[in-house]
Amino acid sequence: CRYKIASIPGDGIGIEVVEQTIKVLRAIEAVFNSFTLDIDTLDWSSKRYLEKGEYIPADGWQRLKASDAILFGAVGSPEVPDDVSLWNLILPLRKKLNQYINLRPIRILPGLSSPLKNCANGDLDWVIVRENSEGEYAGQGGTTHDDTPNTIANEVAVFTRVGIERTMRFAFEVARERPRRKLTMVTKSNAQRYGMVLWDKIFYEVAKEYPDVETDKMLVDAMAVRMVLKPNTLDTIVATNLHGDILSDLAAALAGSIGVASSSSLDPTRQNPSLFEPIHGSAPDIAGLGIANPVGTFWSAAEMLRWLGECAAADLLLRAIETVTANGAKTKDLGGMYNLAQVTEAVIVEVKRS
């Protein structure tokens, strides 16, 4: 099998973690010797934007559409406003490639500990299904009376029946495949009475098709508390674009660090390539120091291999990551002494050992 992978390292530590991840992928390719990854590295970044005035070149969409998957680092630079970088690279990718699901598995890896007291490894094992195309990040809105004391800005959250229903169905399928068969739906349908109420309604409609999945509904503020106080009562979680974004950063921190968590932006119809990236950003505060945690990007690469159908390779990579964290090869954000290159080397050794 040959797979075409578009690699977009982006900015800051995105560049560093993707470079190391490609080394790990090359090691896996050599161990299996049954598939080839043709990796096309694209320099779509804030540096390119500052030089050429664009992130994505004219032939960019064609190149992406010809690929089987996208490996992404992070975008964001102190020299470009964050709304400009996000809306010129990562958000158009998710939207134009119909990646309407964002899947974020999170658990406490062996050897890591939660900042929560009394939270052992098995107590936090979640999958967050985040709606990835509409809601609060639909891009609808505008401003009037700009630069006057009367400026008005509105940001319109857009929810469609089609968008909600396909997200719910995806989430129920994920929950059904997990041992606890439990799905918690998050909204804020007390204060937000249109879109959020529609979410609630469609959740219970779709739930009827999945009588084997236990259902549970939470308001997002109470959900944040429950994640901290009773992590072991949760399993699969479905939330809107904004709520899913915030809760998954919290989830990653509770599992040890924002540096370990992966994020898959999926087109479940498989008509477009899906995109795999760590959940963290470009971390300008540590960029260039060689100390970024690569585990979130390694985990994303494992999810990418699974999506491509290379499940044995995905399992091997996840096991290698877990052995390495269990052995204490950890970066500074996890309280360890290893740098980025040393963690990568340790994972490659494990990959080769198997």
Catalytic residue ranges: 137, 188, 221, 245, 249
- x/- letters, 84..123, toward ligand NAI (CB under 6 A): --x---x---------------------------------
Which listed option, ligand NAI, Mg ion, none, makes contact with residue 281 (CB within 5 to 8 Å by class)? ligand NAI
Which listed option, Mg ion, ligand NAI, none, makes contact with residue 259 (CB within 5 to 8 Å by class)? ligand NAI
C-alpha closest to that of 71 among 124, 125, 136, 4: 4
Among 97, 108, 175, 283, binds ligand NAI (CB under 6 A): 283
- x/- letters, 48..77, toward ligand NAI (CB under 6 A): --------------------------xxx-
Minimal distance in Å, beta carbon 285 to ligand NAI?
5
| Cα 279 → chain centroid | 5
Q: Which residue has the tokens 């500990």?
A: 113
Which listed option, ligand NAI, Mg ion, none, makes contact with residue 245 (CB within 5 to 8 Å by class)? Mg ion
| # chain residues binding ligand NAI, by CB under 6 A | 22
Q: Is 281 in the site for ligand NAI (CB under 6 A)?
A: yes
Q: Is 109 exposed, middle or buried (0-12, 13-18, 19+ CB in 10 A)?
A: buried
3-state helix, strand, coil in the chain (%, to 5): 45, 25, 35
Query: Which residues, 6 or more positions from 93, have their beta carbon under 8 angstroms from its beta carbon?
Result: 64, 70, 72, 99, 265, 275
Of 98 and 282, the one with the shorter C-beta distance to ligand NAI is 282
Q: Is 82 in the site for ligand NAI (CB under 6 A)?
A: yes
Q: Which residue has the tokens 């269990």?
A: 326
**Separation CA 183–CA 197 (nearest Å):** 18
Structure tokens at 73: 């680092």
315-344 residues near ligand NAI, rule: CB under 6 A: 331, 333
Minimal distance in Å, beta carbon 270 to ligand NAI?
22
Q: Is 259 in the site for ligand NAI (CB under 6 A)?
A: yes
335-to-76, 82, 286 alpha-carbon distances in Å = 26, 29, 15
What are φ and ψ of residue 55, in 5° steps? -90, -50
Q: By CB under 6 A, name the binding residues for ligand NAI.
A: 13, 74-76, 82, 86, 90, 258-259, 277, 280-286, 292-293, 296, 331, 333
